[in-house]
Amino acid sequence: MDKVMRKIYYIFGLLSGFSIFLACNSDQNKIVKQPRVIPMKDFFRNPENASFMLSPSGDYIAFTKPVNQRMNVFVTKIGSGDTTQVTAIKDRDVAGYFWKTDKRIIYAKDNGGDENFHLFAVDTDGKNGKELTPFAKVNTQVIDDLRDNDSMMLIGMNKENPELFDVYRLNVNTGDLKLAAKNPGGVADWITDHDGKIRAAVQSDGVNNVLLYRDDEKQNFKQVLRTNFKESVNPLFFSFDNKYVYACSNLKRDKAALIKFDIANGKELEILFEHPEVDVEDLNYSRKRKVLTQIMYETAKPEKKFLDEETEEIYNKVKEKLGEDYEIYFTSENKNEDKFIIRTISDRSLGATYFYDVKQDKLTKIGDRAPWLNETELAVMKPVSYQTKDGLTVNGYLTLPVGIEAKNLPVVINPHGGPWARDSWGWNPEVQFLVNRGYAVLQINFRGSTGYGRKFWESGFKQWGKTMQNDISEGVEWLIKEGIADPKKVAIYGGSYGGYATLAGITFTPDLYACAVDYVGVSNLFTFMGTVPPYWKPFMEMMYEMVGDPKKDSVLLHNASPVFYVDKIKVPLFIAQGANDPRVNKAESDQIVEALKKRGVKVEYMVKENEGHGFYNEENQFDFYGTMEKFLAKHLGGRVETSK
């Protein structure tokens, strides 16, 4: 997927002919009776620990853990047993962090969910803290952490123009900033070589993407390739001699392939890997040995193709120690690449973290992320695929309650956000929570979802509330036909675009659902288009082509906006919204709530003043999911927690 498109896709963070196959071992779901009602907070509480990272030397490990319900950064010296709290944030979780040196850590945090992320630096003893980007209403991006430079990094900020991100060289000790590259207009992505030089950029006018290149920073950029936004050559990183780039590209093909690209002349040189069913997503490499290591893509489950024998050998050694039941990810390494942090995860487990010493071939468990959850009580997520009535193959996931016959069940249909994203196999606390309460959960990668090639993605253009919604509706019909769903007990719940699909479902197909939960969802496509963050504005022409132009396609947008059809809503509705949401403005929820109240229809409405696009503070998640639990139980008859 094009990096420019990724910046748009993060906006929001079934069916005739279903075929179902298990993505699990035969010994899974050993419990034959229905498990206990697991406390709601156990699904959504902060993890015991998370985000482990090795320092450059490999002598220290940093990680996050909750302090007074907020995830803060801690550091421990390997083998010492001593741990130091590095940050002391009280209002908001640390959004992310990384090691700059063995003595200094960089972290990011926004304010109340406004998504204007600021960078901070602090020494590993918790002292010498400094806000590096103290600018109001300014968002910060990390362009290059300049791993080999102890004091400098490259960042992007929309400080001078809220619509454009310029590049700055930032001193992480003093906070000094120097302009490194002025955005000429429309540059959405900056690409550095292995020496930290800004050598390429992707420019967009909202419809057309232009790949810019220069041999060194003294030269001006030149245009080397121009494509429509539907096509992409997405540079991942430069070759080790800094002459070429490795890229994912769907140019002249449907599925994105991994290619070697002559960036100076805008020409594809070689196809390294392509898959017949899905897009290739990413490529890893060894910084130390300067070799390509593995290719990543996703079918029903995450997949990898190894390119390097040493990497594959290390992976297989770890896999042999941990077994076949978990996906394994190498999430961090030291500069010598002889020490690794390893994370496990599955559909029924939030997983554990391990430290692996290559030289000693020693794997040490650091800790479980959620030791209070017993995976034998949780449900298997089953990949599904089907043909729609108009002949399209769609993929998704069906999760059924443990210990209950899959017959005449209450069901929650759970469309994903995006919509230019996809659901994936793996741990999903919402799904496991709902299934534990006795509901079957259906997730569908409806048309317009990403990862399945251009044709499938483009089939969702200007189809909000139409064929995209039909894919979801056909899922309900299939579950009823197969006897899995009780036709009188089907709910729909989703966030962001999934919230839109929820509202569309109960307005355009009101007889399908017994109740609905809309979480930060779009209700009016006209007002939604008019309240986007300023740094989205360069991409609005692209949005118009993908969703609809408010002027040229006014009838289309009107017909697809649930707010204009509230008279069709006849089922109970619960809406949740963050007051500071920069993507789906609070007005999206306000107006549909007001319209329903004018009709005398009761609607539960939860607003959190310190949240944005979704609830991140632990106490707000507890409030939301606790209310959802009671709401669904009232209207679908599922289980509820009796003692809290």
What angle separates helix 618-636 from helix 429-436, to the nearest 10 degrees? Answer: 40
Give the gyration radius of the chain's Cα atoms.
Answer: 24
**Does some domain include residue 486?**
yes
What positions carry a catalytic annotation? Answer: 496, 581, 613
What burial class does residue 424 get, using C-beta atoms within 10 Å of its C-beta: 0-12 exposed, 13-18 middle, 19+ buried?
middle
Taking alpha carbons only, the member of 86, 36, 42, 39 closest to residue 60 is 86
Distance, CA of 402 to CA of 32 (rounded, Å): 7
Taking alpha carbons only, the member of 222, 197, 219 closest to residue 211 is 222
Distance, CA of 264 to CA of 468 (rounded, Å): 40
Confidence of residue 31 (pLDDT cuts 50, 70, 90): low
Q: Which of 18-22, 80-84, 340-344 has the lowest mean pLDDT?
A: 18-22
Taking alpha carbons only, the member of 53, 63, 56 closest to residue 334 is 56
* First-to-final CA distance of the chain: 44
How is 274-290 classified by DSSP, letter by letter?
Answer: --SSS-EEEEEEETTTT
Distance, CA of 519 to CA of 577 (rounded, Å): 6
3-state secondary structure 515-544: EEEEECCCCCHHHHHHCCCHHHHHHHHHHH
**Does some domain include residue 189?**
no
Residues in the chain: 644
Record the pTM. 0.91
Taking alpha carbons only, the member of 248, 258, 158, 164 closest to residue 204 is 164
Distance, CA of 531 to CA of 527 (rounded, Å): 6
Residue 499, domain extent: 381-636
pLDDT tens sequence across 346-357: 999 999 999 999
Output phi, psi for 425, to 5 deg: -75, 140
Q: What pLDDT, on a 0 to 100 scale, did the predictor assign at position 27? A: 41
Q: Which residues, including other chains, have CB under 8 Å from residue 513's CB and lie 6 or more apart?
A: 413, 476, 490, 491, 492, 505, 506, 571
How is 116-132 classified by DSSP, letter by letter?
Answer: --EEEEEETTS-S-EES
Distance, CA of 163 to CA of 157 (rounded, Å): 10
Confidence of residue 601 (pLDDT cuts 50, 70, 90): confident
pLDDT exceeds cutoff 50 at 113: yes
**Does some domain include residue 622?**
yes
Q: Is the dihedral of CA 551, 555, 558, 560 positive or negative?
A: negative
| CA distances (Å), origin 70, targets 67, 217, 454 | 5, 42, 40
Taking alpha carbons only, the member of 205, 164, 172, 46 closest to residue 106 is 172
User: If you count DSSP H runs as helices and E runs as strands, how many of each does the chain have, helices first?
Assistant: 12, 36
Confidence of residue 324 (pLDDT cuts 50, 70, 90): confident
**Does some domain include residue 474?**
yes
| In the chain, % of residues over pLDDT 70 | 95
pLDDT exceeds cutoff 60 at 201: yes
pLDDT tens sequence across 221-231: 999 999 999 99
Q: Is the dihedral of CA 366, 344, 628, 483 positive or negative?
A: negative
What burial class does residue 327 get, using C-beta atoms within 10 Å of its C-beta: 0-12 exposed, 13-18 middle, 19+ buried?
middle
Q: Is 472 helix (H, G, I), strand (E, B) or coil?
A: helix
Characterize 580-607 residue by residue with b for buried, 16 or more Cβ atoms within 10 angstroms of its Cβ, and e for exposed. bbbbbbbbbbbbbbebbeeeebebebbe
CATH code, domain with 437: 3.40.50.1820
Confidence of residue 114 (pLDDT cuts 50, 70, 90): confident
Quote the tokens at residue 621. Answer: 């998640």
**Does some domain include residue 566?**
yes
Q: Which residues, including other chains, have CB under 8 Å from residue 401's CB and lie 6 or more apart?
A: 34, 379, 409, 435, 436, 438, 439, 440
Q: Which residues, including other chains, have CB under 8 Å from residue 574's CB and lie 6 or more apart?
A: 515, 516, 517, 518, 603, 604, 605, 606, 627, 628, 631
Instruction: Report the DSSP beta bridge partners of residue 481.
Output: none
pLDDT tens sequence across 405-437: 999 999 999 999 999 999 999 999 999 999 999
Quote the tokens at residue 398. Answer: 């069906």
**Does some domain include residue 198?**
no
**Does some domain include residue 122?**
no
Q: Which of 28-37, 266-275, 567-576 has the lowest mean pLDDT?
A: 28-37
**Does some domain include residue 476?**
yes
- The tally of domains found in the chain comes to 1
Q: What pLDDT, on a 0 to 100 scale, did the predictor assign at position 255? A: 97
